[in-house]
Amino acid sequence: MKTINIIIFFIFTSILAQSQIENYVIFCGKFFNSEKAIFEKNKYILATNDKVISVKDEYEPKSNDKYLDLSDYTIMPGLIDCHTHFLHNEYFNGKTKKLEIDSLIFQNEDYRNQLGEKNLTAYLNEGFTSIRDLGNSGNFLEKEFKDKNAKDFQYPSIYSSGKGIVFQRGQFPKKFEKYEQDEYLIIHDSLSIQNAINQLENEGVDLIKVYADNAPNKELMPPHLFSYIVEESHKRGFKITAHAIYDRSIKNAALAGVDCIEHIYGISDATMDLIREKGITVVPTFEDKYSVSKIIKHAPKNKFLLRIFMPIELKKNRKLLKKLHDNKINICTGSDAYLDDRVVESRGKSAKSGIYCLIESKIPMNEVLQMATYNGSILLGEKGKIGQIKKGAYADIIAVKGDVQKNKNLLKEIRFIMKRGVVIKHE
């Protein structure tokens, strides 16, 4: 009798569980295949719970399917911003007339946590379903958000480096120098490197960030210590990325054997060749038209040189981005967006700069979208899980209304967002 009751109980609970499973069937008028970087037509995506079950050319919907007709939309994997600082904030200070770090982020942890919450929500609302956060996040404050995410995925998936490793000092101006101990891991020799990497490993970071230079300050990571950091990080299974602005520091990073280089503003042709030969990925974090216009609009009135030079820089940067593309450098999109919402509309909107700087450089849309999805998944070691809509991948799916190849501005208006199988936006 007891056994029968148990059997009945299991049959009942399994029927109940099945009835609670949401089977989504999404019909896609236009579908972006991120691995091949091609647009396909008339596909059905089947998603159950948090995963994509299959992508088919034909499908007969069943009565319990949740059918979503996105025949007028372009459907693509959720975007990945490969360079964020969601717990950092800068704004134009009316008194000093400079772009400055929001000192409240150092002094008030609650304020910083609210900022993080706001920025992550803004990211997801703009279609970023994954982010790669590169520090300036206090004493591993990003961990709390990652822990919350593990329960319900209310934020984009967060992959983080925690504190970056710097030589002698960090990037802050003199008046914020006292906070550098909290924001960076400052190293001087091989023993301090060991301690730094031990701490990062204990804190559960996903990758390691090292500063090849600490611009706008002057220190460069010495090559022998740089190689040691890379060697130790690789030994423990971490990918390592370098912040590098100048040609000299970009070259140092490449020679030390990093996996990825951020920013690369000052790269020379010779260093570009070196990066291609070594198969290093780059995350160029250039401004787009939108962010330049916002900066110019909000810059103090005496900053007339900025108004003259920013548009000139913008043109120069576009040429460099096109050159990287034409030279077959592996690119991932990253925004390095950290401007306060008083300057830009929201962190999510300003983070599109990492994508639009490439689109405005006349790189074809299919390739830019691949850089913003598939390439990011490889960089994060998450191939097949994010950045792709295929069997077994997380159901992180976004859509714009219309044809994104015909109207490039559509990426600024994400109309459909599914995060791990949950529809959070459908307009």
Binding site for Zn ion (CB under 5 A): 336
Hey, what are 336's tokens?
């390095």
CB of 213 to Zn ion, least distance (A): 13
CB of 334 to Zn ion, least distance (A): 8
| Residue with token string 């913008």 | 314
- Of 287 and 336, which has the nearer Cβ to Zn ion? 336
- Of 232 and 336, which has the nearer Cβ to Zn ion? 336
* Alpha helix segments (H runs only) across 176-216: 180-183, 190-202
CB of 83 to Zn ion, least distance (A): 6
Hey, what are 247's tokens?
């040609």
Please tell me whether the peptide bond between 284 and the residue prior to it is cis, using omega within 30 degrees of 0.
no
CB of 84 to Zn ion, least distance (A): 8
Hey, what are 266's tokens?
């000052």
Single out the residue of 64, 88, 251, 115 nearest to residue 171, CA to CA: 88
**Cβ distance 130 to 396 under 8 Å?**
yes
CB of 405 to Zn ion, least distance (A): 30
- Residues ≥6 apart with Cβ < 8 Å to 217: 169, 170, 171, 172
- The torsion region of residue 414 among left (phi > 0), alpha (psi -120 to 50) and beta comes to beta
- Residues ≥6 apart with Cβ < 8 Å to 220: 167, 212, 213, 248, 249, 252
- Of 137 and 233, which has the nearer Cβ to Zn ion? 137
CB of 90 to Zn ion, least distance (A): 11
Please give the full DSSP string across 32-82, using - where no structure is assigned. EETTTTEEEEEEEEEEETTEEEEEES-----TT-EEEEEEEEEEEEPEEEE
The rounded distance, in Å, linking the Cα atoms of 257 and 208 is: 13
- Of 28 and 351, which has the nearer Cβ to Zn ion? 351
- Of 226 and 338, which has the nearer Cβ to Zn ion? 338
- Of 336 and 382, which has the nearer Cβ to Zn ion? 336
| Residue with token string 């134009």 | 92
- Of 157 and 171, which has the nearer Cβ to Zn ion? 171
The rounded distance, in Å, linking the Cα atoms of 357 and 195 is: 38
CB of 54 to Zn ion, least distance (A): 38
- Of 81 and 336, which has the nearer Cβ to Zn ion? 336
**What is the C-alpha end-to-end distance of the chain, expressed in Å?**
53
CB of 222 to Zn ion, least distance (A): 22
Element (H, E) at 125: helix 109-125
The rounded distance, in Å, linking the Cα atoms of 57 and 46 is: 11
**Cβ distance 187 to 232 under 8 Å?**
no
- Of 68 and 380, which has the nearer Cβ to Zn ion? 380
CB of 356 to Zn ion, least distance (A): 18
Hey, what are 51's tokens?
């995963």
- Of 59 and 91, which has the nearer Cβ to Zn ion? 91
CB of 336 to Zn ion, least distance (A): 4
